[in-house]
Amino acid sequence: MVTFYMDKILMAIAIVYGISVAVFALYYNWLFAKTNGFIAWLFFGEIIATLKALIWPLFEFNII
């Protein structure tokens, strides 16, 4: 019974984190394009901004 609730809680945490990664991916892509220009974003921005969005708590809470 407890493992059933634990599975539901972990799934909810994963969904919330996934949604937040999508939101921060949009934000970091926009920020990269604004600071470095469209051409730089076109070549490098999608990769860099998406990887940065995956670890967004580290950037937002100034851990790194």
The answer, yes or no, to whether residue 63 has pLDDT greater than 90, is no
Structure confidence at residue 20 (pLDDT): 96
- Stated pTM of the model: 0.82
Please give the C-alpha separations between residue 59 and each of 10, 11, 53, 55, 64, in angstroms, as whole numbers. Answer: 23, 24, 9, 7, 6
Give tens-digit pLDDT for 13-50.
Answer: 999 999 999 999 999 999 999 999 999 998 888 899 98
Please give the torsion angle defined by the CA atoms of residues 31, 32, 34 and 35, in that order, rounded to the nearest 10 degrees.
110
